[in-house]
Amino acid sequence: GLQWSVSIKSGPRKEKCHCTSGCSSNWTIKTWNTDCLFISRCLNQMEKNGVSVDDVFSQCVFQQDEGDMVLKAVRSVQPDYQPHFNLIKNEYFSPLVKDFYAQKGDYQYPKLDLTQKELQERFKRQLSIEQACTVTIDSVEISKPVTAKIIKMWHKILLQALRESRMNLAQNKDDRFSLYPYLCLLKDEEYVDVMIQTIAKMPMSGDALKFVAGELGQKIYSKYTVHQKQQNHITDKLVNIYNDYTELLAKDTKVYNDLPRERWCKLEMENIAGPTVQAGSTNWPYIITLELGTFLVNIMVKNLKINSDIINPSHTRQLIPILYHMYAFRSTRQIGFIKPHPILSHIQQEAMQIKLTFDSNVIPMLCPPVPWCSVKFGAYLLTPTKLMRAMEGATQHEKLLEKSQNIQPVLDSLNQLGNCPWKINKPVLDIIISIFNDRGCDKLDIPPPLSEAPKVTYSFDPTHTSADKVRLRKEMIEAKKKTTEMHSMRMDALYKLSIANHLRDEIFWFPHNMDFRGRTYPCPPYLNHLGSDVTRAILQFAEGKPLGPKGLDWLKIHLVNLTGLKKNSSLQGRLEYATTIMEDILDSADNPLHGGKWWMDVDEPWQALACCMEIANAVRSPDPTQFISHFPVHQDGSCNGLQHYAALGRDVIGATSVNLVPCELPQDVYSVVAQQVEELRALDAKKNVKIAKILEGFINRKVVKQTVMTVVYGVTRYGGRLQIAKRLKEIDVFPKEHVWSASNYLVHLVFSGLKEMFKGTRQIQDWLTESARFISKSGHTVEWMTPLGLPIIQPYHQTQSKVFFILSIQCLCFLSFLRMPDTVKQKNAFPPNFIHSLDSTHMMLTALHCYSADLTFVSVHDCFWTHALTVDTMNKVCREQFVALHSQPILQELSNFLLNKYCSSPP
């Protein structure tokens, strides 16, 4: 704990001790020299062990002023020492991105259309939100407010119960594990607020105890982590670094050639004093969060009560619990369930809250995310976020990521996706909200209120026969199920629309992370561009660009794509069709709810309506080429999984069917397979095959599409039969008694057709499956490296049930991973997971090169979005990177990796 402040002068002298104990001893220069000698010996030993002082500062995690103390100690023997960090050099990167990093000094990366002062103000607002850990917003639903008196009463009851339970816990000396320390980390009111939020969002049908408890425990952990960062002064240092970081993004500052990750790392080097900003939060074990959450659930179940006459005053007044702990069967397993009393459900239906409270990490950010600089640091300012999503209990991927030294291209692509600013399409949002508050619309995917739910009650009547009673019970069960589903969908829509309405005048960002295969996802779960047609329609780019000479054409083509029509037409044919329906387009834009309503009958109605409005505004502008468009235009892959397989296997016929070969007209593999199946059916019909005759006129693109799409991801014949059966059931005139035999017949024809078209695909799938079987049989999990250097490991292990007695509510049983892999899952999942990893690699390469080309770019897996002006440029980059990816010896490199990894003496 000593801090030196000695300057060497001639002759002996004394210095005041500055140790943390606060003593007043005087230390002679001789003592100081002894300490310097000790430090020198430490530094020499580090050098012998291959550890430099720079390694200490680049790899150690310092809290508060620990780093400053170490620096002072080193400078006592090396006065001129200055920490120096080396960024990863591009020679360690994949050949796919070596040139990108070598030439990055020639690029001018895009700036945001915001000044540095505006970005700094936005940072302050986001920081205050994350410090509070929650956001309260207005609900868009027109309804009566829930009685504030009830909430206030619950808050008081829970506060008292928490304090009493914690006191009892502290006095229980024999408890095998005490939760007491975890109940002292936050203010009592914060625990209660989390419990109240849980009650407000409780589904009508209830939830599994393990899920409710896990969510509660995780929320407490997140709050604790944020508080710790504030206490350790990490927040103060973050403010300084982020304010300087905005200079890279702001439009009124000089141009840098640094990537966001590089710029942040340099700023951290320049701000070496104080705690380590990139210090990863120590995760609590899953069992800890589960026990803590269960403790809080137990308090709610035991103490929260409500007057039984709150709905019907004529009933006898008595206090009844609002939450019940019960058991329910899921398949063959009995699980604990937390279910709300119907009175609570009635309150939720009749008196929805005017205010909704969300955790800060489920709301889009009001400032650009912190760039991912390591596997433990990035995305939100304070809220802990995992770089890679995974199943609870799976930790192998975390260890692999920590050892990985060359995943910077992956981090840079995530940063590029997260740095795209968004805004709300207010005209479309207002129309959706008006329908939402006017009894919804199933056709337009706007869920109705619960007042529209079927109301069937079972009442005993002596005249009812046994068959009548069975029918009534069945109707009652179906009505309850329908009501529960409607409530779930209604609440989901309410959350999305309320968040969108809250952000209607804002610019916001979606931080991104990825799953274990490398596929990227926005972190905010409710409102993001990976959502449904409704959600996508209300999002648009915050920064607009002029349409240019071809932008209006791309808007029209995009609209035709959204309709689901003209799939086999050329781009020129689609453009000509858009011109013929221009009257419908303008009518839809001008009178969406009272006109011809053409937009309501297409595949993606809400996105089509938004596109109609954009086209109408553009054609009515003085110069459409100069019209500033914020609308995202999509370019979707043609059965992307089969594209990768066709490229890997060099299947010319298959490649043609998925548009990897130039053709006059766009190819549609689903239509091609449907045509093949129809030809085979016609031959069988001539041979008097009964089911072939029954299927005449019913085989089309829609029937086979899902099976063709998913066969590349490992769907079995049984799974394919279920998919086809579902499509046949949707055809009203198809005889339902033949659905099963017809689906069994068709799935064989679909698989046979694909086998002929994609000969190399089946061979590759078989090789991957057999390789995974051998690897897992030898006791290992399947691991590989993507062409960008991202390590991937399949998290499928044999499991065993472990039972934990948690407090007094119930025994909790959860699956514990064993070391042995699950052979069936390992071999079945390897082919689709490997293709998903290639898919994500292609997207990341496209993202990096679009960024260097000054393009706005986001993705929904294999669907790429950009401005209408830059569609052609993005298409060029997309194709170039696909060719570059498959010009690599992907299968050969995979084979070499597996041989070296799993063979004791590889050939």
Q: Is 839 assigned a catalytic role?
A: no
Which of helix, strand or coil describes residue 271? coil
Given the residues 587, 822, 839, 862, select the one marked as catalytic: 862
**Host H or E run for residue 374:** strand 370-374
525 SS3 class: coil
Q: Are 202 and 344 in contact (CB under 8 A)?
A: yes
* Rounded distance between C-alpha atoms, residue 674 and residue 218, angstroms: 48
Helices (H), 564-651: 571-580, 582-590, 605-619, 640-649
Q: Sign of the CA dihedral 112, 113, 117, 119?
A: negative
Q: Is 587 among the residues known to form the active site?
A: no
| Rounded-to-integer distance, Cα 138 and Cα 133, Å | 17
Residue 468 burial (CB count, 10 A): 11
In this structure, are residues 426 and 808 in contact, taking their beta carbons and an 8 Å threshold?
A: no
Which residue type occupies 234?
I
Residues 899, 783: Cα–Cα separation, whole Å? 11
What is d(CA 868, CA 871) in angstroms, rounded to the nearest whole number? 5
Give the count of beta carbons closer than 10 Å to the beta carbon of residue 330: 9
- Set 566, 705, 822, 839: catalytic member: 705
Annotation marks residue 705 as catalytic = yes
Written as six digits, the tokens of 122 are 């936005």
Q: Which two tokens stand for residue 319?
A: 């206090």
Q: From the candidates 438, 601, 636, 854, which is the catalytic residue?
A: 636
Outline where DSSP puts E strands in 48-110: none
Query: Among all chains, which residue has been given the structure tokens 């008694």?
Result: 737
Q: How far is CA 10 from CA 13, 80, 200, in A?
A: 9, 21, 73
- Do 343 and 306 form a contact (C-beta atoms < 8 A)? yes
Reported as type and span, the H/E element at residue 180 is none
Are residues 539 and 424 in contact, defined by beta-carbon separation less than 8 angstroms? yes
Tokens at 782, concatenated: 């399947």
Residue 437 carries which DSSP code? T
* Amino acid letter for position 289: T
Query: For residue 601, what are the CA distances in angstroms to 248, 444, 632, 634, 636?
Result: 46, 9, 22, 20, 21
CA distance 593 to 62: 60
Alpha-carbon span 233 to 276, nearest angstrom: 10
Alpha helix (H) ranges present in 593-636? 605-619
For 797, list phi and psi in degrees, rounded to 5.
-125, 160
* 3 state SS of 379: strand
Cα 790 versus chain centre, distance: 18
Total count of residues recorded for the chain: 907
HEC profile of 317-341 = CCEEECEEEEEEEECCEEEEEEEEC
Identify the burial level of 442 via C-beta atoms within 10 angstroms of its C-beta, where 0-12 means exposed, 13-18 middle and 19 or more buried: exposed
Torsion angle of C-alpha atoms 825, 829, 831, 837, degrees rounded to 10:
-140
Q: In sequence order, what E strands does 406-511 have?
A: 421-424, 508-509
In this structure, are residues 548 and 867 in contact, taking their beta carbons and an 8 Å threshold?
Answer: no
Q: How far apart are CA 342 and CA 324, in angstroms?
A: 11
Contacts of 418 (CB under 8 A, 6+ apart): 368, 369, 371, 379, 509, 510, 511, 512
Query: Hey, which residues are catalytic here?
Result: 636, 705, 862
